[in-house]
Amino acid sequence: MAERTVPQGSRAELITDTALDVLAERGMRGLTHRAVDEAAGLPQGSTSNLFRTRQTLLKAVVTRLMHREASILAIEEMPGPHDGTAALADALALAVHRSLSEHPGLVIARYELALEATRRPELRTAYDTAGRSFREPLHALMAAAGSAHPEWHTRSLIAWCEGLLFTCAAGADHVAPPDHETVRRGLTELLHGMLGRS
């Protein structure tokens, strides 16, 4: 691959974005400083100059993943509690469908990082911190919408979304992800059950 000329300010993003691509394509064992340099078209040693150890690279990749997923999920654009379950279901369905249809590699990279975090306590901390940036606003939305058990309902809602993402990105249904309307209908049924609405 031809070497790219990259402004210094964006080099960290280029490296961490490329590392996410490498994770999705080659798995955790294929993620090396050299592999990232080659895939990014950067001189050898560029990745290790910014991220000396594998651990610092992985933590930076988790942080970059959090920022990229935040733009996909657009949590700040989620409807308010008074907009109704249909609006919330539609917004969540859009985010889930966008992840599956436009960013499947990012979903796979996240699962690679999640599994690695089970073996590295320091990475677990970074991964869990990233997860709270989505879970906490969703918990607040569920509480404000009248959930009798917002903590449990938030966990169940996230588990439903995570289960769908996993089975479509890496599981048995990976060849045929559902369309936006199917995802929206499933989320609507789930939210109605939680909030006691017909």
What is residue 149's DSSP assignment? S
Residue 6 burial (10 A CB sphere; 0-12, 13-18, 19+)? middle
Radius of gyration of the CA atoms of the chain, in A: 18
**pLDDT tens profile 133-160:** 888 888 988 888 888 999 999 999 999 9
**Global confidence as pTM:** 0.85
Which residue segments constitute the domains of the chain, with CATH numbers given? 1-52 (1.10.10), 62-195 (1.10.357.10)
Buried b (16+ CB within 10 A) or exposed e, 17-29: bbbbbbbbeeeee
Q: Which amino acid is at 90?
A: D
**pLDDT tens profile 77-87:** 666 666 777 88
